[in-house]
Amino acid sequence: MDELGVAVVGYGLAGSVFHAPLIAAEPRMRVAAVVTSSAERAAQARAEHPGVRVWGSAAEMFAGDEDVDLAVIATPNRTHAELALQALAAGLPVVVDKPFAVTVGEAEAVVTAAERADLPLSVFQNRRWDNDFLTVRALLEAGELGTVRRFESRFERWRPVSKGGWREVGAAEAGAGILFDLGSHLVDQALTLFGPVVEVYAELDHRRPDVQTDDDAFVALTHANGTRSQLWMSAVAPQLGPRLRVLGSTNGYTVFGLDPQEDDLRAGLRPGDRERWGAVSADKWGTFGAGEDLREIPTLPGDYPAFYAGMAAALLDDAPVPVDPRDAIETLRILEYARHVASPPES
């Protein structure tokens, strides 16, 4: 097999902006099918991916499309586990957008089904390929920071009026809220860098009257190795803090601003449209050092296309999947516990 046919189940923001363009950019994949009940999104998919087959429901696609080698679940959070199980039952390897599921129990059921069917399963944690995260990981691997004592990570926005999408105005039980949305990334990054967690503290609030669940959150993790991770997620931050601040025993690293890949994808740019995809100019580099001995160091280019390159290798070359779904279960376990221990949002 030279080229994998991929079905994108759901063609909203996640499916059309993040998944489909990255799939199309991978030489060993193509967007073969899209599942959407929206006529407008169906037309968009056909325009963006000529020759794509559009199905009105996942059940129809799973039963009727024989030219699909991988299913990508990019639907609202509450449907992730159910659709992943349907895809596995149809004999398809699966990628699930984050969060993997709404509960740990659902996620474990999907992993068990994949293992029983002997089918590859992965979770789209694209922020493992953010430019700032890759830079911190490289500094850690080179021993440039010494022993990391504190890791601060933020995804903050200033959105005083909700846009009204389900992620903001939906119920917590359906996986809505900023903890499950942005927290899925921040907790995954902290676990990837610093390993297992032994203690969790959390604060959840909703600050805007037009939302039902958390839009402002803080999670503190104590890792088994002694590192403390402090994670902020907010839609109501009128001033934004540093994206990352890492404090080690010998040096620190601080960087502001977000990886440009999301904005580029939203603007319709695709990998290959820029000379250095995921790169930033020198004025956006982070600061490294200690005391008065500080200097700007290059930020490594971000690389979202690496996820589907890794997935192609898993299916065609018997390589490991790019994100182990059991990592996503641990992330969910922390998110569930954080929601449990935090004071409930005010009504």
pLDDT in tens, 67-120: 999 999 999 999 999 999 999 999 999 999 999 999 999 999 999 999 999 999
Residue 73 has a CB neighbour count (10 Å cut-off) of: 29
3-class state of residue 119 by DSSP: coil
Instruction: Give the model's pLDDT for residue 103.
Output: 95
Q: Does pTM top 0.75 for this prediction?
A: yes
343 pLDDT more than 70: no
Q: Using an 8 Å Cβ cutoff, are 56 and 83 in contact?
A: no
CB 129 within 8 A of CB 18: no
User: Which structure tokens are listed for 311?
Assistant: 């997935």
CA-CA distance, 46 to 54, in Å (whole number)?
A: 8
| Structure confidence at residue 105 (pLDDT) | 96
Q: How far, in Å, CA of 179 to CA of 204, rounded?
A: 8
Residue spans in the chain of domains classed CATH 3.40.50.720: 4-124
3-state secondary structure of 279: coil
- Here the tokens at position 98 are 């984050």
Q: Mean pLDDT, to the nearest integer, of 174-183?
A: 88
Among residues 269, 293, 266, 253, the alpha carbon closest in space to that of 134 is found at: 253
pLDDT of residue 1: 57
- The burial class, CB within 10 Å (0-12 / 13-18 / 19+), for 146 is middle
Spatial distance between the Cα atoms of 195 and 107, rounded to a whole number of angstroms:
20
Distances (CA, A) of 279 to 116, 192, 298: 41, 22, 10
Q: What string of DSSP letters covers 280-330? A: --GGG-EEEEETTEEEEEPPPPP-THHHHHHHHHHHHS-PPPSS-HHHHHH
DSSP string, 192-261: HHH--EEEEEEEEE--STT-SS-SEEEEEEEETTS-EEEEEEESB-SS---SEEEEESS-EEEE-S--TH
Q: Give the residue range(s) of CATH 3.30.360.10 domains in the chain.
A: 127-302+333-341
Give 270's DSSP letter.
-
- Say if residues 335 and 184 touch (Cβ distance below 8 Å): yes
Residues 288-323 as b/e (b if ≥16 CB within 10 A, e otherwise) read bbeeeeeeebebbbbbbbbbbbbbbebbeeeeebbb
Residues 207 and 164: beta-carbon distance below 8 Å: no
Q: What is the pLDDT of residue 163?
A: 81
Is 141's pLDDT higher than 70?
A: yes
Residue 116's alpha-carbon distances to 51, 110, 120, in angstroms, are 34, 10, 11
What distance in Å separates the CA atoms of residue 331 and residue 4, rounded to the nearest whole number? 29
What is the model's pLDDT at position 250? Answer: 98
How do residues 247-278 score in pLDDT, each as one tens digit? 999 999 999 999 999 999 999 999 988 889 99
The CATH fold assigned to 4-124 is: Rossmann fold (3.40.50)
- Which SS3 state, helix, strand or coil, does residue 124 take? strand
Overall CATH class of domain 127-302+333-341: alpha beta
- Which pLDDT score, from 0 to 100, does residue 344 have? 54
Q: What is the pLDDT of residue 347?
A: 44
